[in-house]
């Protein structure tokens, strides 16, 4: 085998291939993906299912004159291999040279950074309309996954495509599941479309005014090539519905599609249920809720289409029965759904990743804050993580603590966390957001007083300098206080700000008596965050305030330790900064 | 005429009415609405079209045991008249006792405060699921307008209704328009459904797994009563599609449905185009863009289904031709659409009300900030207005200035505004948000330097005290400075913070030399806002900072002058506060 992939340097090389070479190329890419992703970790299942479609797109269309947009873009590995970045998947040591998503900084063939879902068709509509305004005539192609279809923005985009009216080719990749099994009534229509090979009269896409084609053999590169050639240059929007298999060609991935969606580095491909369980907030939450739900049938766990990232394992979901609800990738709906549940007398607990919660900002304001809906929101993944910029969870404080009517709690220890969760579920007065900490710190729950949910906890009482920290960053406060004592002989005060939506004003005011500096710590961006509110509070007074947290910037896969250094989020840096103030 | 309405004190009275009485009641309500809304102003068209449906719902269902949810809720006037609040529509002097939207603080028949659109079905899904968890059996009814259907959250809700699976009755009020004419491919399907009286095979609602009924006579209370009786107690979700006429029964409102959607107090019912034009930012923007678009065909105005509030009149839209695009009520899509337009080489200008922009927070982060998309966003209605809490525009700074990568500009004068707009449209580096001020202040444009878009402008240079203000609040700064001079002989510095996403650090640092206090002013809530950032900046220094703006609270129709007083947003209050600091 000469190796077709060896000869592919750019899409132009794919356009020239014969049918036999196309088939060979797909096999080579699939083997490369299985070997390399097994080592590096990454999105395995979604990419294995989309090998043939990507090759066919590059063979038929004239990139980069024609424009290709990936929704969510976690299925872009083959695209990267065909656009000059194959070493990332041939040599695991090169994997980190590129992101796992499309990125215009990497390649002219990548048009957008996209990590959240359901925006692809909207972006495509914009490209199509711009083309029309400028009098150009290229194709605009959008790859949309079936998981992304549950998100309202995808509906908005499809609904608008007909209004734009000109060439727009939506390749709808139907692998019969989202990250988890699909949720939503529309998936019955998709099943009917698959069963009838696209011939049934009832057709979601056509009701939105779109033309429609169906390709059953979504992993057959030649069938796809024919289908794409048919729609190339079409003068109106069309959906090409292709039926693919997630994890295609790799037995383990086909058998455990949810686990195979994204795998860890050096994956052992064990049975998912055999995976080692570490003591984590995910586990702590499951154990607590299992018991709570058993005693109270009105408690319900809600998730928006991404249960694995927040610890809602398939086993736990099954245990919950009707007390679990996956709304699909629909954060807006999920928050309003929780408001409805709460008003109806149930006790909803919404599990959400900080980064995806951004999509429900207006619902936090209107459905939770303004309506005082007693729902509990558990925000996971908030803070500094070594992750793609698209998935950063550093804006959650901005979008919750600044909204009237929402009580925001930041536990430092697991016992505090459980006390807050228990209180929040049963109270009936207000929406509560709990910022689930990164690390599990042991410690007593006494710090949180359900009778005074806006109260803070003073860990150590000192003078001159007070540390005021959110969540598990109290550890760093304690460390800095110890170092301050060692180096300067100062006994600092250390406070856990258990509630970051309001102030324990009597505690703050008491600091004015014998403190000269308040140091705030939070794992989030400082702009619009907690520390700034403290700075404003003390603004008119002689108290100095020094805030630690993140800069307003996008960090792309920066190792945690590294930006702890950049942000002076270490005891030594903090103490040095304090000393430099010469108070 | 005995007057049926006279005898209605609660829904129980409506349930007992005969068919003749139901007909009379509708006539009486319609007359009352026309007379009273003509005087008080309010949502005229949407309410006139929904009189019969509301009467029929109250006649057939057993409220408040059965649960009725209004999406957006601007069509709830008849509901208010039937639930103990009719004096608001019989006696104009009582109109302000109640809000124009549903409000649980007013009545047990109102389940949610709802002023933004498309959340009703999601709320209803929550009520239905809560009912099932608690083992109850009442009906849950959601009223959904056709405008709201374009919003993705409505799709998410409908798609989830089938998954909840139990009783949920969605009354879909199809009056053939949103606030403006409907936009989106789906409206063709609705037209086909109307044409075939719901019999055509292609049916959007059925593709989502929902049962479906059609009622052509949506303004016939008896036909509606029959239809609602048929679905009462149904064991699965069903959409009852009713065809109504916006403005029904009032010739002017039927003729000018867009103008009649919401009318001002003491409406004269003139031809809309005859309405007097005041010098406003809406007019200034139209005049500028008209000329700009003529010279550059790649400039495009984009709006998400609410053009009237942002000055995009029907005449202007017609003039723009293909250089205007209404995406329907789809803020998420609209922002992503603008990112696509920008990447495709066009120059999008997105017109949005501050309150509705909240719905696109994630798209501001991902599609604009992270992707550095050179789109221009004009935020109207930001700041303190005498308006319903649902429509407050005080969180825009929170959701733009804290997001990495977005340049936020606050012009104080109309010339500054035009200089910023001109620069923003043509630059290709970054997304720009312009906070359109409330009042048009004259003044030169020299303050804004396109070569240094993060620069601020010093209006007067003084010592001891510096005012740092956003947008038109510079007027108040000047006033306070004058008063300070008069009372205390101090010459204060006054600075326009033209850019509120970053600091003019050299200007800030220069204040440290001979100033002791910085006073910030912004028309928005202080939490997460601009002043707090200034407080953090000066936190470690001896500089005192005093921030003026709004508290973190929902204000419901509070006259502007009143909360200017509450927030000390007057020259006298500010100067008194400064004096009290005894610096």
Contacts with A104 (C-beta within 8 Å, 6 or more apart), sequence order: A110, A111, A112, A113, B371
Spell out which residues of chain B touch residue A150, defining contact as CB-CB under 8 Å. Answer: 156, 159
Give percent of chain B with pLDDT exceeding 70: 98
Cα–Cα distance measured from residue A364 to residue B354, given in angstroms and rounded to the nearest whole number: 16
Q: Which residues of A282-310 are buried (b: 16+ CB within 10 A; e: fewer)?
A: bebbbebbeebbeeeebbbbbbbbbbbbb
At A454 the three-state DSSP class reads coil
pLDDT at site A183: 76
Q: What is the pLDDT of residues A338-396, one digit of tens each?
A: 999 999 999 999 999 999 999 999 999 999 999 999 999 999 999 999 999 999 999 99
Bridge partner list, A432? A376, A407
Cα–Cα distance measured from residue A176 to residue B224, given in angstroms and rounded to the nearest whole number: 40
Residues 161-200 of chain A whose Cβ lies under 8 A from any Cβ of chain B:
161-163, 183-186, 188-189
List for chain A the helix, strand, coil content (%; round to 5): 45, 15, 40
Residue to mutate among B395, B525, B535, with most A CBs inside 10 A, is B535
Do A67 and A141 meet the contact criterion of CB atoms below 8 Å apart? yes
Task: With residue A26 as reference, give the H or E element that holds it.
Answer: helix A19-40
DSSP letters spanning A345-380: T-EEEEEEEHHHHGGGHHHIIIIIIITT---EEEEE
Q: CA of A109: how far to CAs of A64, A68, B267, in Å? A: 6, 8, 56
Give the pLDDT band of residue A174 (cuts 50, 70, 90): very high
Q: What is the pLDDT of residues B425-461, one digit of tens each?
A: 999 999 999 999 988 888 777 789 999 999 999 999 9
Per the CATH hierarchy, to which homologous superfamily does domain A12-261 belong? Thiamin diphosphate (ThDP)-binding fold, Pyr/PP domains (3.40.50.970)
The beta-carbon neighbor of A540 closest among B67, B358, B544 is: B544
Give CA B414 to chain center in angstroms: 24
Model confidence at A495: pLDDT above 80? yes
At B499 the three-state DSSP class reads strand
pLDDT at site B443: 78
Cα–Cα distance measured from residue A277 to residue B452, given in angstroms and rounded to the nearest whole number: 54
Cα–Cα distance measured from residue B571 to residue B563, given in angstroms and rounded to the nearest whole number: 14
Q: What is the pLDDT of residues A249-299, one digit of tens each?
A: 888 888 888 888 888 888 877 766 544 555 799 999 999 999 999 999 999
CB of B540 within 8 Å of any CB in chain A? Answer: yes
Cα–Cα distance measured from residue B41 to residue B238, given in angstroms and rounded to the nearest whole number: 35
pLDDT at site B44: 87
Spell out which residues of chain B touch residue A163, defining contact as CB-CB under 8 Å. Answer: 183-185, 325, 327
Domain spans of chain A?
12-261, 281-435, 457-581
The beta-carbon neighbor of B358 closest among A203, A333, A365 is: A365
The beta-carbon neighbor of A533 closest among B344, B527, B544 is: B527
Q: Is A204 close to B209, i.e. CB distance below 8 A?
A: no
Cα–Cα distance measured from residue A79 to residue A94, given in angstroms and rounded to the nearest whole number: 16
Q: Is A112 close to B371, i.e. CB distance below 8 A?
A: yes
Query: Cβ–Cβ contacts within 10 Å for residue A186, how many?
Result: 23
Cα–Cα distance measured from residue A195 to residue A206, given in angstroms and rounded to the nearest whole number: 17
Sign of the CA dihedral A394, A399, A402, A408? Answer: negative
Q: Both tokens of residue A324?
A: 């679990």
Q: What is the pLDDT of residues B111-133, one digit of tens each?
A: 999 999 999 999 999 999 999 99
Q: Is B336 close to A157, i.e. CB distance below 8 A?
A: yes
The mean per-residue pLDDT over the stretch A394-408 comes to 97
Spell out which residues of chain A touch residue B405, defining contact as CB-CB under 8 Å. Answer: 554
Sign of the CA dihedral B247, B252, B257, B262? Answer: negative
**Cα B353–Cα B358–Cα B359 angle in degrees, nearest 5:** 105
Cα–Cα distance measured from residue B290 to residue A232, given in angstroms and rounded to the nearest whole number: 36
Residue A305's closest CA among A285, A281, A333, A280? A333
For tokens 């610096």, the residue is B583
Burial class (CB in 10 A: 0-12, 13-18, 19+), B194: middle
Residue B574's closest CA among B548, B552, B538? B548
Q: CA of B444: how far to CAs of A38, B447, B536, in Å? A: 63, 7, 31
Q: Is A127 close to B322, i.e. CB distance below 8 A?
A: no
The mean per-residue pLDDT over the stretch A574-578 comes to 98
Do B392 and B554 meet the contact criterion of CB atoms below 8 Å apart? yes
**Cα A160–Cα A161–Cα A166 angle in degrees, nearest 5:** 135
Q: What is the pLDDT of residues B334-362, one digit of tens each?
A: 999 999 999 999 999 999 999 999 999 99
Do A204 and A189 meet the contact criterion of CB atoms below 8 Å apart? yes
**Dihedral pair phi/psi, residue B554, rounded to 5°:** -95, 125
Q: Both tokens of residue A191?
A: 């099943």
Give the pLDDT band of residue B300 (cuts 50, 70, 90): very high
Residue to mutate among A302, A340, A354, A407, with most B CBs inside 10 A, is A340
Give the CATH architecture of domain B457-580: 3-Layer(aba) Sandwich (3.40)
> Which 8-state DSSP code applies to residue A97?
G
ipTM of the complex: 0.96
Cα–Cα distance measured from residue B436 to residue B288, given in angstroms and rounded to the nearest whole number: 14
B41 CA to chain A: closest CA distance, Å?
Answer: 24
pLDDT at site B1: 47
Q: Is B163 close to A183, i.e. CB distance below 8 A?
A: yes
Give the pLDDT band of residue B255 (cuts 50, 70, 90): confident
Cα–Cα distance measured from residue A51 to residue A29, given in angstroms and rounded to the nearest whole number: 7
pLDDT at site B273: 53
* A/B interface, count of CB pairs below 8 Å: 419
At B170 the three-state DSSP class reads strand
Cα–Cα distance measured from residue B171 to residue B179, given in angstroms and rounded to the nearest whole number: 19
| Longest pairwise C-alpha distance within chain B | 82
CB of A362 within 8 Å of any CB in chain B? Answer: yes
Q: Is A340 close to B127, i.e. CB distance below 8 A?
A: yes
The CATH fold of domain A457-581: Rossmann fold (3.40.50)
Q: Both tokens of residue A381?
A: 């993944």
Among left, alpha and beta (phi > 0; psi -120 to 50; other), residue A54 is alpha
The beta-carbon neighbor of A113 closest among B116, B185, B370 is: B370
**Shared fold status for B281-435 and B457-580:** yes
Q: What is the pLDDT of residues A110-164, one digit of tens each?
A: 999 999 999 999 999 999 999 999 999 999 999 999 889 999 999 999 999 999 9
**Dihedral pair phi/psi, residue B313, rounded to 5°:** -65, 160
> Which 8-state DSSP code applies to residue A276?
P
Do A106 and A84 meet the contact criterion of CB atoms below 8 Å apart? no
The CATH fold of domain B5-255: Rossmann fold (3.40.50)
Instruction: Name the average pLDDT for chain A.
Output: 94
Model confidence at B278: pLDDT above 80? no
Residues 23-62 of chain B whose Cβ lies under 8 A from any Cβ of chain A:
none
Query: Cβ–Cβ contacts within 10 Å for residue B459, how many?
Result: 18
Cα–Cα distance measured from residue B505 to residue B541, given in angstroms and rounded to the nearest whole number: 14
Q: Both tokens of residue B167?
A: 């009783």
Which CATH code fits A281-435? 3.40.50.970
**Dihedral pair phi/psi, residue B511, rounded to 5°:** -70, -25
Do A554 and A392 meet the contact criterion of CB atoms below 8 Å apart? yes
Q: What is the pLDDT of residues B501-539, one digit of tens each?
A: 999 999 999 999 999 999 999 999 999 999 999 999 999
Task: With residue A532 as reference, give the H or E element that holds it.
Answer: helix A530-538
Do A447 and A496 meet the contact criterion of CB atoms below 8 Å apart? yes
Burial class (CB in 10 A: 0-12, 13-18, 19+), B463: middle
> Which 8-state DSSP code applies to residue A263?
B
Contacts with B152 (C-beta within 8 Å, 6 or more apart), sequence order: A118, A151, A152, A153, A154, A155, A156, A332, B118, B330, B332, B333
Do B347 and B386 meet the contact criterion of CB atoms below 8 Å apart? no
């Amino acid at each position: 085998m000469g190796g077709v992939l060896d000869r592919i340097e750019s899409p132009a090389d794919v356009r020239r291939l014969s049918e036999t070479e196309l088939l060979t190329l797909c096999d080579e890419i699939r083997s490369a993906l299985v070997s390399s992703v097994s080592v590096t970790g990454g999105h395995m299942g979604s990419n294995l299912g989309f090998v043939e479609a990507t090759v066919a797109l590059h063979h038929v269309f004239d990139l980069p004159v024609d424009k290709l947009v990936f929704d969510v873009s976690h299925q872009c590995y083959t695209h990267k291999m065909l656009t000059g970045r194959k070493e990332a998947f041939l040599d695991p040591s090169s994997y980190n040279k590129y992101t796992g998503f499309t990125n215009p900084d990497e390649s002219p063939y990548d048009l957008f950074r996209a990590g959240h879902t359901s925006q692809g068709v909207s972006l495509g509509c914009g490209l199509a309309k711009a083309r029309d305004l400028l009098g150009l005539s290229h194709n605009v192609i959008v790859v949309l996954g079936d998981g992304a279809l549950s998100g309202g923005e995808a509906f908005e985009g499809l609904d608008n495509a007909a209004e734009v009216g000109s060439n727009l080719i939506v390749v709808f990749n139907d692998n019969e599941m989202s990250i988890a099994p699909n949720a939503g009534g529309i998936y019955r229509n998709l099943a009917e479309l698959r069963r009838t090979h696209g011939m049934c009269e009832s057709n979601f896409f056509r009701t939105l005014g779109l033309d429609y084609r169906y390709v059953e053999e979504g992993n057959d590169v030649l069938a796809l090539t024919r289908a794409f050639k048919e729609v190339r240059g079409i003068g109106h929007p069309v959906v090409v519905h292709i039926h693919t298999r997630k994890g295609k060609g790799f037995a383990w991935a086909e058998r455990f599609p949810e686990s195979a969606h994204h795998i860890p580095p050096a994956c052992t491909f064990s049975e998912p249920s055999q995976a080692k369980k570490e003591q984590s907030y995910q586990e702590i939450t499951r154990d607590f809720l299992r018991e709570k739900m058993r005693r109270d049938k009105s408690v319900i766990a809600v998730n928006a289409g991404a249960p694995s990232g927040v610890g809602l394992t398939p086993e736990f979901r099954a245990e919950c029965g009707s007390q679990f609800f996956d709304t699909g990738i629909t954060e807006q709906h999920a928050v309003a759904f929780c408001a409805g549940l709460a008003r109806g007398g149930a006790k909803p607990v919404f599990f959400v990743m900080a980064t995806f919660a951004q999509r429900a900002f207006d619902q936090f304001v209107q459905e939770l804050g303004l309506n005082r809906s007693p729902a509990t929101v558990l925000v996971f993944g908030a803070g500094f993580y070594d992750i793609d910029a698209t998935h950063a969870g550093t804006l959650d404080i901005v979008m919750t603590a600044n909204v009237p009517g929402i009580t925001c709690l930041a536990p430092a220890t697991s016992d505090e966390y459980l006390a807050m969760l228990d209180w929040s579920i049963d109270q009936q007065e207000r929406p509560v957001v709990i910022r689930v900490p990164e690390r599990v710190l042991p410690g007593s729950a006494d710090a949180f007083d359900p009778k005074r949910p806006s109260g803070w906890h003073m860990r150590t009482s000192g003078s001159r300098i007070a540390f005021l920290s959110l969540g598990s960053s109290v550890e760093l406060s304690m460390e800095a206080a110890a170092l301050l004592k060692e180096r300067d002989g100062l006994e600092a005060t250390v406070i856990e700000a258990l509630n970051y939506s309001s102030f324990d004003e009597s505690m703050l005011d008491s600091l004015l008596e014998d403190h000269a500096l308040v140091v705030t710590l939070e794992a989030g961006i400082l702009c619009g965050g907690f520390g700034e509110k403290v700075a404003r509070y003390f603004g008119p007074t002689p108290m100095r305030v020094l805030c630690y947290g993140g800069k307003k910037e996008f960090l792309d896969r920066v190792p945690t330790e590294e930006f702890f250094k950049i942000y002076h989020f270490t005891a030594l840096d903090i103490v040095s900064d304090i000393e430099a103030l010469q108070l």
